[in-house]
């Protein structure tokens, strides 16, 4: 059985698509409108068919270079960031206009590594993505090159797409680039090199097989794609590398056709996330819930924790951390990520969701813990 046990790609619902600079621009940095129009049409159609689409787009720097009529990217960091500032607005305007032609709303999301490392930033990013997807909006993601410093710079959108896939609990991350996939050797210098259809495990030998840099307008090469595959697979997410020459390849991949190179995860993304919540995250405090919520957790296997079902709070903790959920006798029922800090929860415990805003003066989310961020113990 090949290609991820046959049909799992065909059943994927939440999809992250990464497009490289070489996919959406010409070598001179000018925008390839034909490619972007086709990408928008296919992604909008996939969204209409029931998929949830997230686009991670490179190209801001290249578009900025093209608009400014420079011969190449500036070498210094302020110059690179200034080009990205020029190009990001242009690129987002193009996406908004072309997706709108197919009745699809898009939203710009700019991230840095700090947004994946800091628990508050991470929780806020995750909640924002969840709301956009709930509204049927396609997020268009890029690294915030204008403010990112080396310490918090992701550096390439291959790895950014894998991090985004983890944040949104995607089923698959598809990297569209100027390569067809991973080969047994560099096909430009080895005509007999073979395309590897499926990678069940990323070994040191396979990493050594990855070549150097890609096209002149991009920042990544095959090595960054292997790194991204490791990040995605460790989160239980499949990753596919394929050529972005024709965006129609997206339909082929999601039909389960053997195109590009598929990197196979060994556990599901839900298993990976729940393992981390249950055993990998530090427990910062506890919520004591009433008998009704205890019964719902035991019978349903999982449900959101609302203020009305909380009886008490133990410990002082901030929002975005992992806490234990226990019954009135102190027996642990579950663990999850809280959307409010301990002080806020003490003010709203026992309250109906509709009363939260009048008590706090604001409302982050309806749930103290969303069911997607909860694991039953």
Mean model confidence pLDDT for the chain: 85
337-354: average pLDDT: 94
224-233: average pLDDT: 89
Give the rounded percent of residues in the chain with a pLDDT score beyond 90: 46
Query: Is the model more confident about 248 or about 1?
Result: 248
Boundaries of every domain in the chain: 9-271, 281-376
CATH 1.10.730.10 fits 281-376, yes or no: no
78-107: average pLDDT: 91
Chain segment 105-145, per-residue pLDDT in tens: 999 998 877 666 666 677 788 889 999 999 999 999 988 76
Is the pLDDT reported for residue 46 higher than 90? yes
With 0-12 / 13-18 / 19 or more C-beta atoms within 10 angstroms meaning exposed / middle / buried, residue 318 is middle
What torsion, rounded to 10 degrees, do the Cα atoms 325, 331, 332, 333 define? -80
Q: How many CA atoms lie within 13 A of 223 on its CB side?
A: 7
User: 269-303 burial string, b = 16+ CB within 10 Å, else e?
Assistant: beebbbeebeeebeebbbbbbbeebbebbeeeeeb
Domain 9-271: give its CATH code: 3.40.1160.10
* 238-243 β-sheet, strand order: 106-111, 138-143, 52-57, 14-19, 172-177, 238-243, 261-263, 198-199
DSSP string, 121-137: HHHHHHHHHHHHHHTT-
Q: In this predicted structure, what is the pLDDT of residue 152?
A: 44
CB atoms closer than 10 angstroms to residue 257: 13
The DSSP symbol for 309 reads: G
Same fold, 9-271 and 281-376: no
| Span of 46-50, 143-147, 260-264, 343-347 with lowest mean pLDDT | 143-147
Whether the Cβ atoms of residue 289 and residue 323 lie closer than 8 Å to each other: no
Q: In this predicted structure, what is the pLDDT of residue 67?
A: 86
Q: In this predicted structure, what is the pLDDT of residue 151?
A: 44
Chain segment 356-373, per-residue pLDDT in tens: 999 999 998 899 999 888
Q: In this predicted structure, what is the pLDDT of residue 63?
A: 81
Q: In this predicted structure, what is the pLDDT of residue 113?
A: 72
Question: With bands split at pLDDT 50, 70 and 90, how would you rate the model's confidence at 183?
Answer: confident
Chain segment 276-311, per-residue pLDDT in tens: 666 666 789 999 999 999 999 888 767 899 999 999
Question: With bands split at pLDDT 50, 70 and 90, how would you rate the model's confidence at 344?
Answer: very high
Q: In this predicted structure, what is the pLDDT of residue 5?
A: 52
Question: With bands split at pLDDT 50, 70 and 90, how would you rate the model's confidence at 78?
Answer: confident
């Amino acid at each position: 059985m090949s290609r991820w046990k046959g049909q799992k790609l065909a059943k994927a619902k939440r999809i992250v698509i990464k497009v490289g600079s070489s996919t959406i621009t010409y070598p001179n940095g000018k925008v390839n409108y034909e490619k972007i129009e086709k990408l928008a049409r296919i992604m909008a159609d996939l969204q209409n068919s029931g998929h949830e689409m997230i686009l991670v787009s490179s190209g801001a720097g290249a578009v900025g270079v093209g608009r400014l009529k420079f011969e190449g990217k500036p070498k210094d960091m302020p110059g690179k960031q200034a080009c990205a500032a020029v190009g990001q607005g242009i690129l987002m305007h193009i996406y908004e206009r072309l997706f709108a032609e197919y009745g699809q709303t898009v939203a710009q999301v700019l991230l840095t590594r700090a947004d994946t490392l800091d628990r508050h930033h991470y929780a806020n990013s995750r909640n924002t993505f969840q709301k956009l997807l709930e509204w049927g909006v396609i997020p268009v993601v890029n690294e915030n090159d204008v403010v990112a410093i080396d310490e918090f710079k992701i550096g390439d959108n291959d790895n950014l797409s894998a991090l985004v896939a983890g944040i949104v609990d995607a089923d698959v991350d598809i990297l569209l680039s100027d390569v067809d996939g991973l080969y047994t050797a560099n096909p430009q210098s080895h005509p007999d090199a073979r395309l590897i259809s499926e990678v069940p495990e990323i070994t040191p030998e396979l990493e050594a097989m990855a070549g150097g840099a890609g096209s002149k307008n991009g920042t990544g090469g095959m090595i960054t794609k292997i790194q991204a595959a490791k990040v995605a697979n460790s989160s239980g997410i499949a990753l596919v590398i394929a050529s972005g020459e024709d965006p129609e390849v997206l339909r082929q991949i999601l039909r389960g056709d053997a195109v590009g190179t598929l990197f196979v995860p060994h556990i599901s993304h839900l298993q990976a996330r729940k393992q981390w919540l249950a055993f990998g995250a530090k427990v910062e405090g506890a919520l004591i819930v009433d008998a009704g919520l205890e019964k719902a957790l035991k019978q349903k296997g999982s449900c959101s924790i609302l203020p009305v079902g909380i009886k008490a709070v133990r410990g002082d903790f901030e929002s975005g951390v992992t806490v234990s959920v226990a019954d009135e006798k102190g027996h642990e029922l579950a663990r999850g990520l809280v959307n409010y800090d301990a002080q806020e929860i003490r003010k709203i415990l026992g309250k109906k969701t509709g009363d939260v805003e009048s008590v706090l003066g604001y409302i982050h989310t309806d749930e103290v813990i969303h069911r997607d961020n909860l694991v039953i113990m």
